[in-house]
Amino acid sequence: MKELEDRIRQDGIVKAGNVLKVDAFLNHQCDVELFDRMGAEWARLFAGAPINKILTIEASGIGIACVAARHFGNVPVVFAKKAQSINLDGEQYSTTIYSFTKKREFPVIVGRRFLNPEDHVLIIDDFLANGCALEGLITIVESAGATVEGIGIAIEKGFQGGGDKLRQQGYRVESLARLVGMDDETGELTFG
């Protein structure tokens, strides 16, 4: 998606350690019009898939997933919580994921009443680096007996291998911008 690539070039900041900061439009301040066009593109890419639910992880994926859901007939959006709270009651699906940006493991939890075997799920997230977060969400979907119809990613760091690993496992991954290189000294970004 050229518009997203251009926006990353314009407002993205490359930091040491393969970190791309896009908080000006994607995961701190949200450009809702851009999100809407991203949702339309995912709807085009996954046209014909029987998606009846979108799953994401808190917090950065929620805004993108909610706007995208409008392009899939306003399907419900479920987000995996990263911590137990008093609001989480009843039976739950849970797993542990490793966060690339926070450098630690998190539990991720979804109430069982929100995913069931009849669900055909599109997983949406802002970034795909090593794939750990997505593997955790896939585990939750499969624990529910539901079907992963595909994975929609805003920005894939192709050089970190997570997307390739998921594709080799048979998952359909559609990334709207795929980085094949970043240089934290020059700020140069290479898409491919």
| pLDDT number for residue 126 | 96
Structure tokens at 177: 């911008």
Walk along the chain (192 residues) and give the pLDDT tens digit of each residue: 999 999 999 999 999 988 999 999 998 999 999 999 999 999 999 999 999 999 999 888 999 999 999 999 999 999 999 876 656 666 889 999 887 667 788 889 999 999 999 999 999 999 999 999 999 999 999 999 999 999 999 999 999 999 999 999 999 999 999 999 999 899 999 999
| pLDDT number for residue 44 | 98
Under a CB-based contact definition with an 8 Å cutoff, are residues 119 and 110 in contact? Answer: no
| pLDDT number for residue 99 | 74
| pLDDT number for residue 87 | 60
| pLDDT number for residue 89 | 62
Structure tokens at 123: 């997983």
Q: Which residues contact 84 (CB under 8 A, 6 or more apart)?
A: 107, 109
Name the H helices within 46-154. Answer: 60-69, 132-143
For residues 111 and 45, give the distance between their C-alpha atoms in angstroms, rounded to a whole number.
29
| pLDDT number for residue 100 | 66
